[in-house]
């Protein structure tokens, strides 16, 4: 149950974080009242969703409460994003392509890596599990980098990231050479 709750709150936090730029922009425009499009729906959704989950489950459970809080936040974030997009004239297709899908990509890759990793970790010792997790983390990082580079990045972003990685690698190499020369 703990892993499910962590997953719920990870997704909920992702949606909450997507509201940050919108609230900052409307606040900067002097439209502080637009922030109520997040707070008020969040409370209203929670008032509706929590009793429905309790009714469905027949009792109060940590998982049910977590699901209710997570779903309320996701729905309230959608309301605020709708409002901010309307105020700023941002098209949903642009937002989904440039913001939502890149954020979602990490979760999709994570799910693909997590399923075989869970099986592998449960069938080995604790030390073997650490090795499996290190390999899985490396595979996850490589797959996310590939997805971003080949699917999500625009050409200018791809060039910027590659130049940055090359600059960091050159810096690490020059630092290594300097350390070897001083020894």
> What are 151-171's pLDDT values in tens digits?
888 899 999 999 999 999 999
For the chain, give the percent of residues with pLDDT over 70. Answer: 99
pLDDT digits (tens, 9 = 90+) for 13-29: 888 888 888 888 888 88
Place of tokens 């002097």: 30
For residue 52, how far is the Cα from the chain centroid? 27
Query: What is the overall mean pLDDT for the chain?
Result: 89
| 3-state SS track over the chain | CHHHHHHHHHHHHHHHHHCHHHHHHHHHCCCHHHHHHHHHHHHHHHHHHHHHHHHHHCCCCHHHHHHHHHHHHHHHHHHHHHHHHHHHCCCHHHHHHHHHHHHHHHHHHHHHHHHHHHHHHHCCCHHHHHHHHHHHHHHHHHHHHHHHHHHHCCHHHHHHHHHHHHHHHHHHHHHHHHHHHHC
Q: What is the mean pLDDT of residues 87-113?
A: 87
Q: Tokens representing 22?
A: 């919108």
Q: What is the mean pLDDT of residues 145-152?
A: 89
**Contact (CB, 8 A) for 99 and 18:** yes
Q: What is the mean pLDDT of residues 4-10?
A: 84
pLDDT for position 183: 67
């Amino acid at each position: 149950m703990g892993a499910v709750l962590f997953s719920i709150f990870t997704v909920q936090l992702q949606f909450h974080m997507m509201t940050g730029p919108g609230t900052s922009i409307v606040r900067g425009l002097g439209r502080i009242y637009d922030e109520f499009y997040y707070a008020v729906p969040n409370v209203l959704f929670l008032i509706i969703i929590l009793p429905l989950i309790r009714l469905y489950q027949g009792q109060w459970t940590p998982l049910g409460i977590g699901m209710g809080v997570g779903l309320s936040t996701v729905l309230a974030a959608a309301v605020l994003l709708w409002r901010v997009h309307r105020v700023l004239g941002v098209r949903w297709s642009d937002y989904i392509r440039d913001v939502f899908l890149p954020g979602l990509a990490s979760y999709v890759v994570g799910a693909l890596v997590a399923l075989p990793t869970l099986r592998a970790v449960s069938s080995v010792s604790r030390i073997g599990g650490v090795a499996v997790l290190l390999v899985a983390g490396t595979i996850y990082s490589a797959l996310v980098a590939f997805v971003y580079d080949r699917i999500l990045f625009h050409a200018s972003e791809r060039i910027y990231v590659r130049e940055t990685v090359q600059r960091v690698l050159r810096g690490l190499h020059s630092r290594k050479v300097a350390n070897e020369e001083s020894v």
